[in-house]
Structure 1
Amino acid sequence: MEKAFTSFLSTLLLLHYVMATSAKTHTNITTDQLILLSLKSQIISDPSHFLDESWSRATPVCHWVGVTCGSRHHRVRSLNLSNKALTGRIPQDFGNLTFLVSLDLGRNNFFGKLPQEMAHLRRLKLLNLSFNNFKAEIPSWFGFLHRLQVLSLRNNSFTGSIPSTVSNISKLETLDLTYNSLEGQIPKEIGNLENISFLSLAGNKLIGYIPTSISNASMLEMLRLSRNFLQGNIPEWIGNLHNLNHLAIEHNQLAGSIPFSIFNISKLEVIAFTNNSLSGSLPTGLCNRLPLLKELHLSLNKLRGHMPTSLSNCSELQDLSLSVNQFDGPIHSEIGSLRNLQFLYLGFNHFTGIIPQEIGNLVNLAELDIYKNHITDSVPISIFNISSLQYFSLGKNHLKGSLPREIGNLTKLKVIDLSQNMFSGEIPKEISNLIELEELYLGNLTYLYLDLNPLNGMLPVSTGNLSTTLTKFYAANCKIKGRIPNEIGNLSNLLDIDFSGNNLAGLIPTSIGNLRNLQRLFLYDNKLTGFIGDNLCKLPRLGSIYLSQNYLSGSLPNCLGNITSLREILLGSNKLRSNIPASLWNLKDLKVLDLSSNNMGGFLPPQIGNLKAASQMDLSMNQFSNGIPKEIGGLQDLERLSLRHNKLQGSIPDSMGNMVSLEFLDLSQNNISGTIPKSFEKLQYLEYFNVSVNKLYGEIPSGGPFKNLSSQFFLFNEALCGSLRFSVSSCPTSSKHRSNRKRMLVLFLLLVFVPITFVLVWIRYRRGKRAPQQADSLSVVTRERISYFELLQATDALSESNLIGSGSFGSVYKGILRSGTAIAVKVFNLQLEAAFKSFDTECEVLRNLRHRNLMKVITSCSNLDFKALVLEYMPNGSLDK
C-alpha cells in the first residue's frame, strides 16, 4: 500500500514538472513571437509582402519563413531576413531573443542606431548587418558578444573610430567593416584577434600606419585595407603571414618599395597594391614561389625596371596590371605562356621593342592594353586570332605597317584604339560586317579609334555594315580620301563621328539625318562641298557641329535654331552666304559660335543679346553691316568676341563695358566711328583689344586694361589721341577748357579795368576837372531781386565745377537762374578786411559806369556773412567787341 502511494506521488510530481516545463516553454516562445511581431511593426516597407504573408499569430513562430528554432529549448535560434528589400528599424526589445545564435539582416534598408539591448544576445555567433543604412558609431558593446565568430557591418554609414573593445571578441574569425565612413587609426588591439582569418577595413577614411600588432594574426587569410588614407611603407612582417591568400592595400598613400618577402607567401592568390606611391623594382624571381597567384595589381605607382621573365611561372595568373608606372625594356615572349590570362594592362609605361607574337597564345585574353609606350614595328598577326578579345588598345606607340585583313577575326571586340601610330595603307574592308562574309561580323564593336594614322585610303561602303552598337567612330588625321559613304546612316547608335583632318570630298551625306543619337559631328579640315542642308535639323541631341575649313556654300539652314541641344557651332572658313537665320539667336544654351571667314551679310540684330551662355563668338571676315547692337552688352559670360573685317558702322556701344568676362575683343577693319567708351576701363580681364583701321576719334582711355595694351591695336583711325605710348598725338585742350580760358581772360580784364577806371574817375572827381554828370540811366533801372538761396541753386551751391576764376578779393562762378538766364556771380571773401570796402566800391563804380561791351549788373546780394555781385554771363567776351 505504502509502495503504491509512493509510486503515485512520484508520477504526480513528474506530471507537475512536465506541465510546468511546458508552461514555461510556452511562455518563452510566446515572448520570442512578440519580439518578432515588434520587429514586423517597425518595418515601414515590405515590397514583396514577405512578412505579411508568413508572419502571423495563426502560424507557430517556429514555422515562420526565415525563423529557425532550436530542438532542445524550442526558442528562436536563427533569423535570416537577408535580401528582402525591407525598410525599417530594429526594436529595442530585440535583445530579448537571448537564444539567438545567427542573425542575418544583410542587403535590406534597415536604418538608425543599433539598440543597446542587443548586447544581451550573448549566444550570437554570426551577425550580418551588411548592405543597410545603419548610422552612428560602431557600439562598444560588441565587445560583450564573446561567442561571435562572424561580424559583418560592410556597406553602411557607420562613423567614428573602430572601437578597441572589438578585440575582446576572442573567437572572431571574420571582421568586415568595408565601405563605411570610419575615421582615425586602426586600433593596435585588433592584433589580439588570434583567430581572425578575414579582416577587411577597406573603403573608409582610416589614417596612420598599418599596426605591427596585426603580425600576431597568424591565421589571417584575407587582409583588405584598400581605399583609405594609410601612410608609411608596406610592413616587412606581412611576409610572415604564411596563410594569406588575398592581400589588398590599394588606393592609399603608401610609399617605399615592395618587400620581397611578400612574394614568398606561397598561398597568395591576389596581390593588389594599385594607386599608391610605391617605387623600386620587382624581384627577378617574382613568381618563383607564387604558384597559385591569379591577380597581380601594381598599376598607378612609380615602379621601374624590367618586367621579370619569371612571370611565366605564375601559370594560374588571370589578371596582370602594370599600367601607369615607369617600367621599361621589352615585353618578354615568356608572357605567352600565361594561358589563363584574361586581362593584360601594360599602358602608360616605357616599354620598348616589339609586341611578341607569343601574345597570340593567350587564347582567353579579353582585354589588352599597351597604350602609350614606345613599341615599334608591326602588330603580329597572331593577336588577331584571339577571338575572345573585347578591348584592344595600342594607341600612342610607333607601330607601322598596314592593318591586316585578320582584324575581322575579332568578333567580340567592343573597343579598339589604334590611334596615333604610323599605320599606312587602306582600311581593310574586312573591318566591316560584310554580308557575304558572315564570319567577319563585328556585332559587339562599341568604339573604333583610327585617328592619327596615315591610312591614305577610302571609307568603304561596307562601313555602314559595322555593328549598330557602335557609338564612337574616330578616324581623324588619317589621310582618308573620297566621299563619306551614305551607308554611314545605318550606324543608328553613333554618338560621336570624328573624320576631321582628312581629304574627304563631296557632299555631307543626307543619311546623317538618320543618326538620331548623334551628339558630336567633327568633319572640319576636309574638302567637303555643297550645302549644309536641313538633315542636321533631324538630330535632336546634337551638341557640337564642327564643319570649319571646308568648301561648304549656300545659306545656313533656317531650322538650325530648332536644335535646342546645340552648344557649339563652328562653320568658319567656308563659302557660306546670306544672313544669319533669326532662329539661331534663340539658342540660349549656345557656348561657341564661329561663322568667321565666310561671305555672310546683313546686320546683327538686337536678339544677339539672347545668347547669354556664350563664351566665344567669332563673326570676323564677313560682310556684316550697320551698327553693333547695344544688347550685346548683356553677354556677361562672353570671353572672346571677334567682329574683325566687316562693314560695321556707328559707334561702339557703351553697354559693352558691362561684358565683364571679356578677354579678347577685336573690332578692327570696320567703319566704326565715335570714341572708345570710357566704360571699357572696367573690363579687368581684357588682354587683347584691337580697334585699328576704323574711324575712331577722341581720347584713348588710360585706366584698367588699357595700361597694358599695345599701340598697334589703335593704328589707322581718324583722330585718336592720348598717351604717347599708344603712338598717337596728345589730346588738344578741349573746347570746354578753351571756353574756360576765355572766361577767365574776360574776368581778368574786368578785374583790372574796373579798378583803373574807378581810380581815373575818382581823380577827376576830386580835382573838379569834370562837370557833374547827368543821372545815369542805370540808377533808375529797377534791379531784379535774387535771394541767397536762389544763387546757391543757380551755382550748384558754389560748386568748384562752376568756378570760372579767382581774384584778390573773391571768386567768380557761372550759374543759371530758374528763368534760364546765364549769370556770373562774383563772391567776395569776407575773411579779408579789404573785401568789405572792395564790395562797396565796386557797387558804386559799376552803378555809375557804362560801356557797350561791359557786362550788365543784374543785382547784388549782401548780408553780414555773404556779399556777391550778379552780372550777365558773357562767354568769349572782350572790350573790343
Structure 2
Amino acid sequence: MGVGGTIAKEIGELYFSRSLIIRNYNFLRFIPDEISNLSQFREIEMQDNELNGPIPSSLGFLENLQKLNLSNNRLYGEVPNRMFNLSLLTVIDLKNNSLSGSLPTNICNNLPNMERIRILNNHINGNIPPSLGTCRKLRRLSLAFNRFFGSIPMEIGNLSKFQTLNLEGNTLIGTIPNEIGNLSALEYLDLAFNSFNGTILKKIWMGFNSFHGILPKSFGNLSIFVEFFGANNCGNKGIIPKEIGNMSNLIQLDIGANEFTRAIPDTLGQLRKLQKLRLCFNKLGGSVRFNLCNLVNLYHLEDNSLTSAIPSTLWTNKDIQILSLAYNLLNGSLASEIGNIKSMRDHIPESFGNPISLQNLDLSKKNLYGVIPKSLERLENLEYFNVSFNELGGEIPNGGPFKNFTSEFFVVVALSLAIVVVYVIRRYRRSIVPLAHSTSLITIKRISYYDVLNAIDNFGEGNLIGKGSIGLVYKGIYSNGMIAAIKAFNLDLEGSNQCFDTECQIFCNIRHRNLVKIITSCSNLDFKALVLEYMPNGNLTKWLFSSNYFLNISQRLEIMIDVASALEYLHHGCQFPIVHCDLKPNNILLDEDKAAHVGEFAISKLLTEDQRISITKTLGIIGYMAPVWVSGLISTMADVDSYGIMMMETFTKKKPTCDMFVGEFTMRKWVFKSFPDAIMQIVAVDLVNPIEENIQAKEICFKSIMGLALECTVNYCLRIKDLTGP
C-alpha cells in the first residue's frame, strides 16, 4: 500500500544528501519549491507516484543534478526552461504525464553530457528543436505520443552515438531526412503514426496510414537493397505495379488489406529471394500465377477474387508453411502433387467436405492440428482416409463413409496420463474442446500504445488481474468490445527486454489448443506489452487455494491432461523442442470451460541444437525446479519433473514451498513415504468423503495419479521419464 499525504517542505533541509528516491507512493500533491535547497543532489527519482501540479522551476538551481526521473505521475504545465541549463544532467525522464508547452529551441546548448531524453506520452507541441543535434552524447530520444508537428530536423544526423529514436504518434510531416542515414550506431527507429511523405529508402513499413492513393510505378525504383516492404491497411487502390519485380532483394512483401484490383503481376515471380507474400484482403482477380510457385514459406492470398484452377506446380514447393487461398473464386481439382508439401501447419478446413466425389484423402505428416471436421461425413465416395502423424484431437466422425472405416485407418497418439487415470473415475467420455481460431498476427490491426492505455483505463488498478516477476497483467477492454489480457513488461528491470523478445519468439513458433494464444503485441522504445487471449477463470492457484472456488477430481484430471498435452506439443510437436522452465499453477490459466492453457514463456528455452543447454542463472521457482538444473544443464525432462510436482500439488493442496518441506525432506519424499498404502491420508480433504460409496475407486485413482507423479519426478541419475516415453 502507498503512503498518502504530501512531500513535506522540510525535505529542503536534507542539505548533504546526494540522492532522493521516492517510488510507488501515493503522494497526492505537488513537488515543493524547497527541493531547490538540495544543492548536492546528483539523482532525483520520483516516478510511479500520484504527484500533480507543475514541475517547480526551482529544480533548475540543482547544479549538480545528473539524473531526473519524474515519469508516471500527473504533472502538468510547461517544462521549466531552466532545467535545460543543468550542464551535468545526463538523463531526463518525464514520460506518462500531462505536460504541455513546447521544448526550448536551444534545448541542448547547455547540456553537453545529456545521454537520454524521454518525454513520451505528454501533450508537448511545437517543432522538434534542431539544437538537439548539438547533444553529442545523446543516445536515446523518445518524444512519442505528443503533439509535435513540422519535420524531423536534419541536425539529428550529427549524433554519432545515437542509438534509438522514437517519434511515433505525432503529426510530423515532410520527408525523412537523408541525414538519418549518417547515424551509424542507430539500432531502433520508430516513426509510425505520423504523416510523412516522399521517397522511402530501406526496410520500409508504413502500414495503417491513410494514403488512399495508388502505388506509383516509381515504387520499383526503391533501393535494390530493400528487404522488407509493408504498406498494409493504407487504403491504396489501383493495380500492383509490375515494376515491383525490380526489388530483387525483397524478402517480405506485405500490401494486404488495401483495395488493389486486377491481376497479380507476373513480375512477382522475379523476386527469387521472396519468402513471405501477403496480398490478402484486396480485390485482386485473375488466376494464381505460375511464376509465384517458386516462392517459399508463406502465402496469404485469401479474400480476393482469384479465379481459375490452382497451378499444379504450386505443390512442388515442399517448403510452404502457410498457404491461404480462402474466399476466392477458384475452381478445378487439387493436383496429386499436393502430397509433396512437408512443412505446412494449419487445421483441416470445413470446406474439405464440399468435393463430394472425392475418393482418396491423404493428409498424413502435414503438421495439422485441431479436430477432424464433421463436414467430411458428406464425402460419400471416400474410400481411403489418412491423417496419421499430425496433432489432431477430438472425436473421429462416425457418419457417412466413416461408419465403414476400421481403427486401422487412424493413428491416435494417447498421453500416458489419459490411459492411467481417465477411465477410473469418469463415467462418460470427456468432450474435447475444439481448437479456437486464434487472431492472426498478420491480419489484425496494429495496436498502439494509446489503444493499450484506453483498454486498461490508463493502468487503472481495477483492471489489474495479475503480478509477475517482470511486470503486471491487466484486463483490457477495447472499443470494439474485444476483451484481452495485456501483459505489460517493467522495462526498468534487468532482462525484461530479453524476456519480451523470448516470449515473442516462442509465441511465433507455437500453436496449440492448450497454450495461451497471442493476439498481438505493442512494442516501442519505452513500452512493451503482449496482448493475449483473456482467461475468465484465472489461474489454477486460485482454484486450488481460494475458499470460494472448488475443482472436483474430474476437473483436476482434465486440467492435468490439458497441461500434459501442451507439454507433449512443446517438447515434440515443434520444429525445435521448447522447454517451458516455469511450470507451476500460477502459469496454468483456465478458460470459461475450465480448459487449461499453459502461459508465461518469459524464461522458456528454444533448444535449436542439442537437447540440453547450459544455464547461467536460476530459472523458475524453488520447489518446482528439477534436480538436473543444479548441474547447470536443462532439457525437456526438467518440465516433466515440474509437471510431476504440480500434479502432487493439485491433488494434495500442498505447495512444494510449504514450511513443512525443509532440507532434504521434499514434497516428493513426503508423497513417496505415503505411497501406495497411505495415499488417502495426504490427498486434499475436500476431495475425499470416507462414507461415499465409490471411495475404493477414488483410492485406485489417487494411487495411479501419485504413481505417475512420482515417476515424473524420479531421480535423474536413475531414470528420466519423458511424457512420450515408456
TM-score normalised by the shorter chain: which range applies?
Answer: 0.3 to 0.5
How does the TM-score come out when normalised to structure 1?
0.36
Asked which structure has the greater CA Rg, the reply is 1
Higher relative contact order (CA 8 A, sep 6+): 2
